Chains A and B, each alone.
Chain A
Amino acid sequence: MKKYKNQVMILRIASKELFHNISTPRFITGFVLCLLLIPFSIVISINEYRSKVSVYQTEQKRADEENLAKVYSAYRPVIVKNPTPLSIFARGVSYNLGNRVKILFSDIPMMSEGKAESRDNPFLNRFFTFDFVSMLIIIISLMAFLFTYDICTGERETGTLKMMLANPVSRALVLSGKMLGTFFTLIPMLLFSFGLCILVLLFYPDIHFTSSEWVRIVIIFLLSMVFLVLFMVIGLFVSSRVRHSGTSIVICLVLWIMFLFIVPNLANYSAKSFVKTGSVENLNFDILEIEKEFNTKVGEYDKKLPQTDWGMANTRFNTDGPSAIAGASKSSFEKERLMNIFSEPLRVDYADRKWSFRKAYITKIERQQKIARYLSFLSPSEIFKESVNGLCATNAESHYNFLDQIRNYREELIRYYEVEKLFNSYLYFTQQDPKSFMTGDEIVNTLTNGEIKTVADLYAKNDPWIFNYFKKPIPNGDMDVWKPMDLSKLPKFDYRPANVLDDIRHSLLHIGVLITLLLVLFYFSYRSFIRYDVR
Chain B
Amino acid sequence: MLQAIDLTKRYEDQQLALDALNLEIKEGEIFFLLGANGAGKTTTINLFLNFIEPTGGKALINGIDVTKEPLESKKYVSYVSENVMLYGNFTARQNLDFFAKLGGKTNLTKEDYYMRMREVGLQEDAFEKKLKTFSKGMRQKVGLTIAIIKDAPNILLDEPTAGLDPKAAAELLQILVNQKRQGKSILMCTHDIFRAKNIADRVGIMKEGRLVMVRTREEFMEDDLEKIYMDYMQEMVIEKV
Q: Which of A15-23, A81-89, A129-137, A371-379 contacts B (4 or more CB under 8 A)?
A: A15-23
A13 to B51, CA, bound (A): 19
| A162 and B79 within 8 A (CB) | yes
Residues of chain B lying within 8 A (CB to CB) of residue A534: 51
| B75 and A12 within 8 A (CB) | no
Interface positions of B from 85 to 131, Cβ below 8 Å from A: 85-87, 89-90, 94, 98-99, 101-104
Residues of chain B lying within 8 A (CB to CB) of residue A167: 74, 99, 102-104, 150
Interface of A, secondary structure class, is: helix
A283 to B46, CA, bound (A): 73
| B87 and A169 within 8 A (CB) | no
B74 → chain A, closest Cβ, in Å?
4
For the A-B complex, the count of residue pairs with Cβ-Cβ distances under 8 Å equals 72
B161 → chain A, closest Cβ, in Å?
16
Is B72 at the interface (CB under 8 A from chain A)? Answer: yes
A20 to B87, CA, bound (A): 8
Q: How many of B's residues come within 8 Å of A, CB to CB?
A: 32
Residues of chain A lying within 8 A (CB to CB) of residue B99: 163-164, 167
A12 to B94, CA, bound (A): 12
B154 → chain A, closest Cβ, in Å?
11
Contact of A535 among B51, B94, B98, B103 (CB under 8 A): B51
Interface positions of A from 506 to 529, Cβ below 8 Å from B: none
| B51 and A165 within 8 A (CB) | yes
A170 to B73, CA, bound (A): 12
Residues of chain A lying within 8 A (CB to CB) of residue B221: none
Residues of chain A lying within 8 A (CB to CB) of residue B72: 168
Is B22 at the interface (CB under 8 A from chain A)? Answer: no
Using known A-B contacts A20-B89, A535-B51, determine if residue A12 contacts B101 with beta carbons closer than 8 Å. Answer: yes
A166 to B150, CA, bound (A): 11
A533 to B52, CA, bound (A): 7
Q: What residue of chain A has the Cβ atom nearest to residue B51's Cβ?
A: A534
A534 → chain B, closest Cβ, in Å?
5
A41 → chain B, closest Cβ, in Å?
32
Residues of chain B lying within 8 A (CB to CB) of residue A159: 81-85
Is A338 at the interface (CB under 8 A from chain B)? Answer: no
Residues of chain B lying within 8 A (CB to CB) of residue A165: 49, 51
| B98 and A169 within 8 A (CB) | no
Q: What residue of chain B has the Cβ atom nearest to residue A15's Cβ?
A: B98
Contact with A along B41-67 (1 / 0, CB 8 A): 010001001011000000000000000
A167 to B74, CA, bound (A): 5
Using known A-B contacts A166-B78, A167-B102, determine if residue A535 contacts B46 with beta carbons closer than 8 Å. Answer: yes
Q: How many of A's residues come within 8 Å of B, CB to CB?
A: 24
| B90 and A162 within 8 A (CB) | no
Is A212 at the interface (CB under 8 A from chain B)? Answer: no
B173 → chain A, closest Cβ, in Å?
21
Residues of chain B lying within 8 A (CB to CB) of residue A273: none
Q: What residue of chain B has the Cβ atom nearest to residue A167's Cβ?
A: B102
Q: What residue of chain B has the Cβ atom nearest to residue A177's Cβ?
A: B102
Using known A-B contacts A24-B89, A158-B86, A163-B79, determine if residue A12 contacts B98 with beta carbons closer than 8 Å. Answer: yes
Q: What residue of chain B has the Cβ atom nearest to residue A157's Cβ?
A: B85
Is A44 at the interface (CB under 8 A from chain B)? Answer: no
Is B189 at the interface (CB under 8 A from chain A)? Answer: no
Contact of B86 among A23, A160, A166, A533 (CB under 8 A): A160
Residues of chain B lying within 8 A (CB to CB) of residue A23: 89-90
A165 to B101, CA, bound (A): 13
Contact of B102 among A158, A162, A169 (CB under 8 A): A169
B21 → chain A, closest Cβ, in Å?
17
Residues of chain A lying within 8 A (CB to CB) of residue B150: 167
Residues of chain B lying within 8 A (CB to CB) of residue A166: 49, 74, 77-79, 156
Is B206 at the interface (CB under 8 A from chain A)? Answer: no
A20 to B130, CA, bound (A): 12
| B81 and A163 within 8 A (CB) | yes
| A16 and B98 within 8 A (CB) | yes
Contact of A163 among B77, B90, B146 (CB under 8 A): B146
| B75 and A162 within 8 A (CB) | no
| B75 and A168 within 8 A (CB) | yes
Is A9 at the interface (CB under 8 A from chain B)? Answer: yes
Residues of chain A lying within 8 A (CB to CB) of residue B230: none
Residues of chain B lying within 8 A (CB to CB) of residue A20: 87, 89-90
B73 → chain A, closest Cβ, in Å?
8
Residues of chain A lying within 8 A (CB to CB) of residue B143: 163
Is B213 at the interface (CB under 8 A from chain A)? Answer: no
A331 → chain B, closest Cβ, in Å?
98
A163 to B77, CA, bound (A): 11
| A162 and B85 within 8 A (CB) | no
A471 to B78, CA, bound (A): 119
Chain B residues with a Cβ under 8 A of chain A: 42, 46, 49, 51-52, 71-72, 74-75, 77-79, 81-87, 89-90, 94, 98-99, 101-104, 143, 146, 150, 156
Chain A residues with a Cβ under 8 A of chain B: 9, 12-13, 16, 19-20, 23-24, 157-160, 162-170, 533-535
**22 A-B contacts (beta carbon < 8 Å):** A12-B98, A12-B102, A16-B87, A16-B98, A19-B90, A20-B87, A20-B90, A23-B90, A158-B87, A159-B83, A159-B85, A160-B85, A160-B87, A162-B51, A162-B81, A163-B79, A163-B84, A163-B146, A166-B74, A166-B79, A167-B99, A168-B75
Q: Closest 3 interchain pairs by CB? A: A158-B85, A166-B79, A23-B89
Other CB < 8 Å A-B pairs besides A9-B102, A12-B98, A16-B87, 9 of them?
A19-B90, A158-B85, A160-B86, A162-B81, A166-B78, A166-B79, A167-B74, A167-B104, A167-B150
